[in-house]
Amino acid sequence: MSNENNTQLANATENTPLANQEKILSPSEKFTQTVLKEFHNPGSEPLELTNFQRKLINNYFIKLDSVLIDSEIKRMSKSEQYRDPLPFTWGNVNLRKLSRDVVAYSMIGLDPLQKNHINPIPYKNSKTNKYDITFIEGFNGLEIKAKKYGFDAPDEVLFELKYSTDKFKSFKKNINNKIESYDFEIVDDFNRGDLQGGFYYMMYQNKEKNKLVVLNREQIEKRIPEYASAEFWGGEKDEYQNGKKTGNKIKVEGWEEEMFMKTLKRHCWNSINIDSQKIDDYLMQIITNENDKVPTEVAEKISQHANKEEIGFENISDVDYEEVKNVVEVAAEEVKEFANEGPGF
């Protein structure tokens, strides 16, 4: 952690109950105390955390500190003319909002240091002149949330991609067939042909509830986000030299298989409704976040810079731009892809 960030967090936590005690707290301990202080409501019982939850909160600190450092490096790399004057430091983060979100997500069990659980995105709130942190759930995070809070979540799910040489036949549930199922055979493992789509099979102890969902190529491709990056979906992208467009296009192969599989997984876990009887304060905090729209200027910045060399307001791995788009538009259909790193497999 940088000395500047360390100082900023210390200043931000100087009024916490343990800050004036003789024990010298580490930056991560100060962060945990700040989170607990901000989340605690006067007159209510103090929030009790398990060792696992404390570990998760510490992981949020590690990830967020790294994000702030990376974002500050990127901010300073810009010419002064285009550089935002507000540094990415702990003292410039909206800790009140952040603390509630961190507790909520850690109580659910989402770990920012695990692949495709959850990703923090800092953006400047022009009204407060502070950085708010938006959290974007990955498909593994969606699975955890669906299994914990979902209404009639499946016991197991099988995901498969279908190629032109594969043999596939679905058997839908009907008056003569009580269990929905399918036959699937890979004829040639090393030359499966063209990618045609995929499917997932949701399995329950009561097999009559089993469900097969098939998405062909057209159905998956219509979920390609507006801000899709050619590096991952394939296609053409603008060529840049010294930060400027050359006017030429570059053909990019992409990671089509991985993106198709990722779309299947998001489609599956987003299809599970939340059980209203399982909603607690932590999930309600997350639902509130999902219903809050990111400021318009953030959406415009995504639109302008998503497929360019420089993003401008963040520099975070594992981030899905269409997930950010979903936060902006509260989209009904989730269509996702990674922006700054590979597809997560």
Tell me if 232 sits within 8 A of 203, measured CB to CB: no
What SS3 state is found at 135? strand
Task: Give the amino acid at 117.
Answer: H
Tell me if 201 sits within 8 A of 182, measured CB to CB: yes
Give, as one character, the DSSP assignment of residue 18. T
Give, as one character, the DSSP assignment of residue 274. B
What SS3 state is found at 20? coil
Please identify every stretch of the chain with a pLDDT value under 50, giving residue numbers as ranges: 14-22, 296, 302-342, 345
Helices (H) and strands (E) in the chain, counts: 11, 9
Residue 33's CB: how many other CB atoms inside 10 A? Answer: 16
Calpha distance 309→131 (Å, rounded): 22
Residue ranges of E strands in 5-151:
118-125, 130-137
List pLDDT tens digits, range 130-156: 999 989 899 999 999 999 999 999 999
Task: Give the amino acid at 101.
Answer: D
Residues in the chain: 345
Domain ranges within the chain, ordered by starting residue: 3-147+275-329, 151-270
Q: Give the model's pLDDT for residue 223.
A: 85
Tokens 């899709």 correspond to what residue? 228
pTM above 0.85? Answer: no
